[in-house]
Amino acid sequence: MGEYAQLVDEFSIHDGMVVASHRARNTDAIITTDGAIVDAGYETRWS
């Protein structure tokens, strides 16, 4: 929840949850084509 609280003003509720999960779990990348997440500079993958 702490990770999400830091993102609440930056993303929509759904995008914030995806990014918070990525940060909390320290994953290599987020699987998405969501422009808001890509534009924020997070490592993304889509295949």
pLDDT means per 10 residues, the chain with 47 residues, are 66 89 94 93 88
Pairing of the two strands 44-45 and 30-31: parallel
Decide: 33 and 21 in contact? Cβ < 8 Å. Answer: no
Strand, coil or helix: 5: helix
Give the total number of structural domains in the chain.
1
**pLDDT for res 11:** 86
Which structural domain range is residue 21 located in? 2-45
Task: Say what the pLDDT of residue 13 is.
Answer: 85
pLDDT at site 35: 93
State the pLDDT at residue 46. Answer: 87
pLDDT at 4: 62
- How many Cβ atoms sit within 10 Å of the Cβ of residue 10? 11
Q: In this predicted structure, what is the pLDDT of residue 34?
A: 92
